[in-house]
């Protein structure tokens, strides 16, 4: 309810603030301004540009005539007041003349004493007095600006159409997720395998999903599943349709004086309003505390994909908007006159930041310099909001800016709340497991309630590391010690591999200490990855297939299923296949493997190294306390010393055939390196039978940025 209330408030805020201090802000005011500007008021210009307003707004006859026009154009007092405010805004922004509502009312009242009759001579000779309006002539101006206002409003609703599209997608995904986890209605059960095989599991291009495909060795492409690609393709098509339809403003027009200029202005309005409407989706899909992940069951990876593609489309629309006005400024000239306006310069800065944000967010750059990416992305995201604020402050549509501020602030606030609930800065014990893998154990915070597949972001503090390391947070899967009470665990465990940056610094610190383990100050932010309650009883055999450190993401799902088991049930054959490079991996995960075996889980170890020495334990490991347990584990496990990568297609096909023989649904849970994840995904999609008496599911636990 809190989420719905917050979203309702945001929607109401946007609806009430999407009008602008430009022509469409007040149809009456704009009609009167252009109606009166056709006459001679003794000013050097008559075209309504900045120089004209600097003269108009200090000319009593012009002010009296405009206010009289507004007063006679409507009997609604609130429309009159709004039109007066519009004129005040015009004089302030275009002519740098400051007027007040009291002065506007004075000019209107005083002008009734100096009426002069309408005459065509007023277009040639300066008007001396308050010009009486010609109602017939004015109605033409009003009808044209009404037509223009309707076009802009239609553009706004096309932008809202993009928002409603994502509301529909999220709503439908939420309904399916609720049904899957809480209701159990089987209205699509007969099509389950077909949908999984053709849409939900396979990548849209070959077997590239977690990996980045490099075209011509220089252009990176990241591919989603076919289903998510279809969702995004429909969004792109809808955007293109909305940009291309509904241009029904006719000429002649007092503002759109030529067809070329009309096309520029109308397309610019359409693209910039649609671009603005995508801002909230970009920020919402990119934050950690996204409530839609909980409702839809979509992973962070999925929302990150939507986040990036919404940003691509938004940037293209903004680029079209910027190019149009740049062309117009150069054509009308001189460009330097336009570039003097603050809103113009802030718009250039915002567009530049959009391109920089997209460029530096490509996965190739993120992987190359992750620490730098985090800081720069945060800085530019905030800078973009600031630029848009100053770009729109005199134009309007500030609701979209405040939406970005609200979403960004909400996420940062919730991060602090999560950290505060878990004790702020806490102690962690770090132990080297060999193979560059580190085990981190933390006393479980009181309010740290997690599920299978949950992960948390960890901030490491060190006085010897680079200063920016302390502001980084790394996502790690949450595990618990199987020897502890599952209802009241005392500790939580993380396994992670030392790569670059702060994790490599931590490994060096452990190895150089000469101790079995070291303590470190950290902050814990999480847990994330929570799902709706699983009220529907699972009737699937879980087959966990992990490679290397991926075991830390697969194991929690088996643990969740088996922790309630009091006696071994021969009906369900849950299984773990762990693919490792050498036997030393068993040094640090033996306790968990033994627990799985004690619950009746079939555990199979596949060793891929060609080195015969890797089939033996490294008794010189820096973490010798693991060795005894691992040796006991080795003697009881089924270990296949393959000496090569296993054929995942054969493994998956064999497990599906076995499940079919006992008429049990099967759920593959996999995690490992990017190539492994893609191969396993392709294997499951290929091996799913189109016609079968069982359902085959696949759940990837990889975390792709």
Task: Report pLDDT for 20.
Answer: 40
pLDDT tens digit sequence for 226-278? 999 999 999 999 999 999 999 989 999 999 989 999 999 999 999 999 999 99
Among the listed ranges 267-276, 407-416, 640-649, 668-677, which one has the minimum average pLDDT value? 640-649
Q: What is the mean pLDDT of residues 310-339?
A: 90
- Angle of helix 342-360 relative to helix 370-392, nearest 10 degrees, comes to 160
List the one residue out of 322, 548, 538 whose CA is nearest residue 435.
548
Domain end point (choices 528, 554, 584): 528
pLDDT at residue 572 in the model = 66
Contacts of 700 (CB under 8 A, 6+ apart): 210, 670, 671, 677, 680, 681
Q: pLDDT tier at 518 (50, 70, 90 boundaries)?
A: very high
Confidence tier at 100 by pLDDT (50, 70, 90): very high
What pLDDT score was predicted for residue 332?
81
Quick one: pLDDT at residue 247? 93
Confidence band for 626, pLDDT divided at 50, 70 and 90: very low
**Looking at the structure, do residues 519 and 629 belong to the same domain, yes or no?**
no
Per-residue pLDDT at 619: 34
Burial 360-388 (b: 16+ CB within 10 A, else e): ebbbeeeeeebeebbebbeebbeebbebb
| Structure confidence at residue 18 (pLDDT) | 40
Q: Say how many domains are in the chain.
A: 4
In a domain, 497, yes or no: yes
Euclidean distance between CA atoms 478 and 449, whole angstroms: 10
The answer to whether residues 633 and 594 touch, using CB atoms and an 8 Å cutoff, is: yes
- Tell me, yes or no, whether 242 lies in a domain: yes
The answer to whether residue 574 scores a pLDDT higher than 60 is: yes
Cβ-contact 674, 222 below 8 angstroms = no
Which pLDDT belongs to residue 286? Answer: 92
Q: Are residues 572 and 553 in the same domain?
A: yes
φ/ψ region of 81 (left if φ > 0, alpha if ψ in -120 to 50, else beta) reads: alpha
pLDDT, residue 692, reads 85
- What is the structure's pLDDT at 120? 66
Q: What is the pLDDT of residue 217?
A: 76
Share of the chain residues as helix, strand and coil, in percent rounded to the nearest 5: 55, 15, 30
At residue 122, the pLDDT reads: 65
Which of 158, 54, 143 minimizes the C-alpha distance to 99? 54
Read off the CATH number of the domain in which 472 is found: 2.40.30.10
Whether residues 517 and 501 share a domain: the answer is yes
Q: How many other β-carbons are positioned within 10 Å of the β-carbon of residue 461?
A: 13
Rounded to an integer, the average pLDDT of 689-694 is: 86
Examine the domain organization and report whether 454 and 490 are in the same domain: yes
Q: Is residue 214 part of a domain?
A: no
- In this prediction the pTM is 0.89
What string of DSSP letters covers 600-615? Answer: T-EEEEEE----GGGG
Do residues 401 and 446 both lie within one domain? no
- Does the residue 555 lie in any domain? yes
Q: HEC states along 19-76? A: CCCCHHHCHHHHHHHHHHCCCCCCCCCCCCCHHHHHHHCCCHHHHHHHHHHHHHHCCC
Contacts of 436 (CB under 8 A, 6+ apart): 497, 498, 507
Residue 605, phi then psi, degrees to nearest 5: -110, 130
Higher pLDDT, 122 or 432: 432
Task: Decide if 229 is inside a domain.
Answer: yes
Query: pLDDT tens digits for 376-398?
Result: 899 999 999 999 999 998 888 99
The residue from 417, 448, 463 where one domain ends is 417
Alpha carbon 178 to chain centroid, angstroms: 22
The token duo for 318 is: 């903004």
Question: Do 177 and 315 belong to one domain?
Answer: yes
- 472 and 505 both lie in a single domain: yes
Instruction: Give the DSSP H/E element, type plus range, for residue 699.
Output: strand 696-700
Spatial CA neighbour of 65 closest among 26, 93, 37, 100: 37
Q: What is the Cα–Cα distance from 385 to 402, expressed in whole angstroms?
A: 9
How far apart CA 67 and CA 647 sit, in angstroms, is 82
For residue 411, how far is the Cα from the chain centroid? 12
Contact 541/676 with Cβ under 8 angstroms?
A: no
pLDDT grade for 97, boundaries at 50, 70 and 90: very high
Domain with residue 551: its CATH number is 3.40.50.80
> Between the CA of residue 71 and those of 76, 82, 105, what are the distances in Å?
9, 11, 10
Two tokens, residue 638: 């089924």
Mapped onto helix, strand or coil, the DSSP state of residue 430 is strand
Is there a contact between 410 and 7 (Cβ–Cβ < 8 Å)?
A: no
Please report where in the chains the tokens 């990889």 appear, as a residue. 702
Do 485 and 560 lie in one domain? The reply is no
* Domain enclosing residue 511, as ranges: 424-528
Question: Phi and psi of 262, rounded to 5°?
Answer: -60, -45
Q: Which two tokens stand for residue 12?
A: 């109401």
How does residue 636 score in pLDDT terms, banded at 50, 70 and 90?
low
Question: Does 535 map to a domain?
Answer: no
- The encoded tokens of residue 158 equal 């096309």
Backbone angles phi and psi of 517, in degrees to 5: -150, 165
Tokens of 490: 């005392």
Alpha-carbon 454 to chain mean position: 19
Residues 682 and 555 in one domain: yes
Do 383 and 307 share a domain, yes or no?
A: yes
Domain boundary among 493, 528, 563: 528
- How far from 180 is each of 142, 297, 606, CA to CA, in Å? 56, 10, 33
Q: How far apart are CA 515 and CA 522, in angstroms?
A: 19
Is residue 399 pLDDT above 60, yes or no? yes
Residues 604, 495 share a domain: no
Dist CA 640 CA 621 (whole Å): 23
Residues 6+ apart with CB under 8 A from 407: 280, 283, 284, 287
Residues 413, 438, single domain; the answer is: no
Rg (C-alpha) for the chain, rounded Å, is: 33
Does residue 412 form part of some domain?
yes
| 368 contacts: CB under 8 Å, gap ≥ 6 | none
Q: CA 292 to CA 302: how far, in whole Å?
A: 11
Rounded to whole angstroms, the Cα distance separating 294 from 194 reads 26
Residue 145 belongs to some domain of the structure: no
């Amino acid at each position: 309810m809190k989420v719905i209330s917050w979203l309702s408030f945001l929607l109401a805020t946007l609806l009430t603030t999407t009008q602008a201090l430009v022509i469409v802000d007040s149809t009456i005011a704009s009609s009167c301004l252009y109606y009166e500007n056709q006459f001679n008021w003794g000013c050097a210009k008559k075209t309504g540009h900045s120089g004209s307003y600097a003269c108009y707004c200090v000319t009593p006859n012009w002010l009296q005539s405009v206010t009289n026009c507004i007063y006679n154009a409507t009997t609604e007092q609130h429309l009159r007041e709004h039109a007066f405010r519009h004129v005040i805004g015009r004089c302030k922004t275009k002519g740098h003349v400051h007027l007040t509502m009291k002065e506007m009312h004075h000019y209107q009242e005083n002008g009734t004493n100096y009426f002069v009759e309408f005459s065509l001579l007023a277009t040639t000779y300066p008007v001396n007095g308050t010009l009486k309006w010609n109602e017939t002539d004015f109605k033409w101006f009003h009808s044209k600006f009404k037509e223009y206002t309707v076009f802009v409003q239609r553009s706004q609703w096309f932008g809202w159409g993009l928002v409603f599209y994502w509301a529909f997608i999220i709503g439908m995904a939420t309904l399916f997720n609720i049904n899957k986890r809480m209701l159990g209605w089987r209205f699509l059960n007969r099509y389950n395998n077909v949908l999984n095989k053709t849409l939900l599991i396979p990548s849209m291009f070959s077997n590239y999903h977690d990996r980045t495909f490099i075209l011509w060795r220089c252009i990176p492409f990241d591919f989603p599943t076919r289903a998510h690609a279809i969702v995004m393709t429909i969004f792109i098509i809808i955007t293109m349709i909305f940009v291309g339809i509904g241009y029904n403003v006719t000429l002649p027009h007092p503002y759109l004086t030529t067809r070329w200029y009309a096309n520029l202005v109308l397309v610019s309005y359409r693209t910039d309003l649609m671009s603005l409407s995508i801002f909230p989706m970009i920020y919402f899909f990119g934050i950690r505390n996204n409530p839609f992940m909980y409702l839809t069951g979509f992973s962070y990876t999925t929302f990150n994909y939507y986040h990036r593609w919404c940003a691509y489309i938004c940037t293209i629309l903004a680029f079209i908007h910027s190019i149009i006005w740049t062309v117009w400024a150069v054509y009308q000239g001189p460009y330097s006159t336009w570039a003097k306006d603050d809103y113009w310069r802030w718009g250039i800065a915002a567009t530049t930041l959009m391109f920089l944000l997209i460029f530096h967010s490509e996965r190739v750059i993120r992987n190359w310099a992750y620490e730098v990416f985090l800081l720069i992305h945060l800085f530019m995201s905030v800078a973009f909001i600031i630029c848009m604020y100053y770009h729109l402050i005199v134009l309007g549509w500030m609701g979209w800016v405040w939406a970005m501020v609200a979403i960004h602030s909400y996420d940062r606030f919730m991060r602090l709340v999560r950290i505060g609930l878990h004790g702020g800065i806490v102690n962690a014990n770090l132990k080297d497991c060999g193979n560059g893998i580190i085990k981190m154990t933390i006393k479980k915070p009181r309010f740290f309630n997690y599920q299978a597949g949950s992960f948390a972001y960890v901030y490491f503090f060190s006085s010897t590391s680079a200063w920016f390391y302390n502001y980084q947070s790394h996502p790690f899967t949450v595990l618990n010690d199987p020897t502890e009470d599952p209802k009241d665990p005392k500790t939580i465990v993380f396994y992670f591999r030392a790569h670059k940056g702060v994790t490599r610094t931590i490994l060096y610190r452990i190895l150089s200490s000469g101790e079995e383990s070291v303590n470190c100050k950290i902050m814990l932010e999480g847990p994330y990855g929570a799902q709706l309650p699983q009220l529907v009883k699972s009737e699937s055999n879980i087959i966990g297939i992990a490679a290397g450190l991926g075991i830390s993401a697969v194991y929690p799902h088996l643990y969740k299923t088996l922790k309630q088991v009091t006696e071994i049930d021969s009906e369900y054959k849950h299984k773990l296949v762990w693919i490792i490079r050498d036997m030393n991996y068993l040094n640090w995960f033996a306790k968990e493997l033994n627990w799985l075996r004690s619950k009746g889980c079939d555990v199979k170890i596949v060793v891929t190294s060609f080195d015969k020495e890797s089939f033996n334990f490294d008794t010189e490991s820096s973490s010798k306390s693991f060795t005894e347990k691992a040796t006991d584990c080795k003697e009881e496990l089924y270990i296949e010393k393959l000496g090569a990568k296993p054929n995942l297609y054969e493994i998956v096909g064999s497990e599906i055939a076995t499940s079919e023989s006992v008429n049990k649904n099967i759920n593959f849970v996999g995690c490992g390196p990017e190539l492994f994840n893609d191969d396993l995904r392709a294997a499951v999609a290929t091996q799913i039978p189109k016609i079968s008496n069982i359902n085959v599911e696949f759940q990837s636990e990889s975390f792709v940025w």
